[in-house]
Amino acid sequence: MLIFGRYLLTNYLKVLALAVFSFISILLVSRLEEITHYASMGAKPLYLVRFILYQIPYILPIAIPISCLLSALILFQKLSFNQELTALRAGGFSLKKIISPILIAAFFLSLTSLYISSELATASHLATRKMVYELCSINPLLLLQNAKIGKLQDAYVQMEPVKNGEAIENLIVALHTPSQERMSLCLVKQIGIGSKELKANQISLISSSATRTEHAVDHLIIENQKSMHASSSELASFLYPKGWKIANDHLKLSLLRIRGRQLNKVIQSGGASAKTKRMYKKCHTEMIRRCSFGLATFTFTLLGVAFGMEISRNRTKRGLFIVLGLAALSLISFFVGKEFDHLIWIASFLFLFPHLLIIIASTWTLRRVSRGIE
């Protein structure tokens, strides 16, 4: 039994390692735009390597379950095709003993996946956000180039980036302030950064405002400057005054539970707002989402084991279609569940129901195989 278990685990883990490496490569390519954007910010090569490495733990919780499914499916299809499965059962091995080494390995892999999604992925995601924010704080011109990072509201920004974010040309900033009924237009021929200081050339500032009186008068102010010097930190604080918030997917499981308990105390006191209650529900759905990641590793392996076995002489693709359907349902439910993270019961159903469905379908199939029913 020891030799047989080692044989199964060796073949299972070989395919698993290859599949994980392949999925990491594919998912990194899908994040290539984000990586190239970070490189275009002028990040040093060492920073860029760290940024790429930080993406891997964030990818693994999805890559591991799918890789386990493919590995188990290929392994038991191979055992069935080479009649090894028939030989083992004829030699007195029960179906439970045959699949137990793989399921035990899947159980420990599920714990590993849970640890990665709860600890490593959150830490890497937080480190990535810190790196981007620190780089943008050092060089505020990057905030102007990235609309997602900059927090300018009611503004239009257009520019021609040059020199990897170290300087920009033909900057146009149009800003509208509704509360003051004020419009401002700023034109800069060239602006660059050096030694933590901004240097701008050929600046034109046009601003207008309307005074609400009986005789309304429109005021137009035009100002031209040949050059200007200012601290880069001042522009960074203006563009990003509040910094960035630590979301639930930045927190480790222990810290997420602490946040949940603190929000629960506020709710129990009776002075909680609708936003606080919403945040409390999101904490719970985030914990369920991470448990779903760990559970997916085991259930996907069980799915591959059950539908990878073929005892019929006439080979069909029915099992393959069932596997694809259940795996697709699980992934779709996961992504849809993230959109309903403020509704605990709906999100929990979407995160957990596909796993229950996979366990029922796989157990039913294994019982039929053990009885010799096609």
Residue range 139-150, pLDDT digits in tens? 555 555 554 444
- The CA–CA distances, whole Å, from 31 to 35, 52, 134, 317, 335 equal 6, 9, 21, 33, 17
- Higher-scoring residue by pLDDT: 19, 341: 19
Do both 133 and 263 map to the same domain? yes
- Report whether 201 contacts 229 (CB < 8 A): no
**Closest C-alpha among 69, 59, 54, 71 to residue 23:** 59
Do both 97 and 158 map to the same domain? no
Domain presence at residue 38: yes
- Higher-scoring residue by pLDDT: 242, 30: 30
Find the farthest-apart pair of alpha carbons in the chain and give their distance in angstroms, rounded. Answer: 102
Do both 213 and 288 map to the same domain? no
The arithmetic mean of pLDDT across residues 274-285, rounded, is 85
The arithmetic mean of pLDDT across residues 76-105, rounded, is 86
**Closest C-alpha among 140, 310, 166 to residue 239:** 140
Please give the pLDDT value at position 224. 78
Q: Is 222 helix (H, G, I), strand (E, B) or coil?
A: strand
Domain presence at residue 142: no
Domain presence at residue 146: no
Do both 262 and 128 map to the same domain? yes
Please give the pLDDT value at position 342. 82
Do both 65 and 119 map to the same domain? yes
Amino acid in position 228: M
Domain tally for the chain? 2
What band does 127 get if pLDDT is binned at 50, 70 and 90?
confident
Domain presence at residue 247: no
Q: Does residue 260 have a pLDDT over 70?
A: yes
Q: Is 339 helix (H, G, I), strand (E, B) or coil?
A: helix
* DSSP secondary structure, 156-206, as one string: EEEEEEEGGGTEEEEEEEEEEEGGGTEEEEEEEEEEEEETTEEEEEEEEEE
Percent of the chain clearing pLDDT 90 (strictly above): 16
Please give the pLDDT value at position 149. 41
Do both 299 and 352 map to the same domain? yes
Nearest-5° Cα angle at 262, 260 to 267: 90
- Higher-scoring residue by pLDDT: 352, 274: 352
Q: Does residue 69 have a pLDDT over 80?
A: yes
Q: Which of 83-87, 221-225, 291-295, 363-367 has the lowest mean pLDDT?
A: 221-225
Do both 262 and 231 map to the same domain? no
Domain boundary among 178, 204, 239: 239
Please give the pLDDT value at position 302. 93
User: Residue 60 CA to chain centroid, in angstroms?
Assistant: 10
Q: Does residue 14 have a pLDDT over 70?
A: yes
Please give the pLDDT value at position 295. 92
Q: Does residue 291 have a pLDDT over 70?
A: yes
pLDDT digits (tens, 9 = 90+) for 193-217: 665 666 777 778 777 755 555 455 5
- Report whether 236 contacts 137 (CB < 8 A): yes
- Higher-scoring residue by pLDDT: 352, 31: 352
Please give the pLDDT value at position 199. 74
Domain presence at residue 47: yes
Domain span at 332: 2-137+255-370
The arithmetic mean of pLDDT across residues 235-260, rounded, is 71
Please give the pLDDT value at position 299. 94
Where do the H-state alpha helices sit in 224-273? Answer: 232-239, 253-268
Do both 42 and 68 map to the same domain? yes
Domain presence at residue 323: yes
The arithmetic mean of pLDDT across residues 46-74, rounded, is 87
Domain boundary among 205, 239, 273: 239
Please give the pLDDT value at position 374. 63
Is residue 326 classed exposed, middle or buried when 0-12, 13-18 and 19+ CB atoms within 10 A define those classes?
A: buried
Domain presence at residue 341: yes
- Report whether 175 contacts 155 (CB < 8 A): yes
Please give the pLDDT value at position 252. 84
- Report whether 267 contacts 277 (CB < 8 A): yes
The rounded mean pLDDT for the chain is 79
Residue 320 CB partners (closer than 8 Å, separation 6+): 307
Domain presence at residue 72: yes
Domain boundary among 215, 239, 263: 239
What band does 64 get if pLDDT is binned at 50, 70 and 90?
very high
Do both 212 and 316 map to the same domain? no
- Report whether 196 contacts 233 (CB < 8 A): yes
**Helices 95-115 and 344-370, axial angle in degrees (round to 10):** 160
Residue 308 CB partners (closer than 8 Å, separation 6+): 72, 73, 74, 75, 76, 77, 79, 80, 319
Do both 64 and 106 map to the same domain? yes
From CA 155, how far away is CA 177, in angstroms rounded? 9
User: Residue 215 CA to chain centroid, in angstroms?
Assistant: 56
What band does 138 get if pLDDT is binned at 50, 70 and 90?
low
Please give the pLDDT value at position 357. 94
Do both 128 and 182 map to the same domain? no
What band does 110 get if pLDDT is binned at 50, 70 and 90?
very high
- The CA–CA distances, whole Å, from 245 to 42, 134, 241, 249, 251 equal 24, 14, 12, 11, 11
Do both 59 and 126 map to the same domain? yes
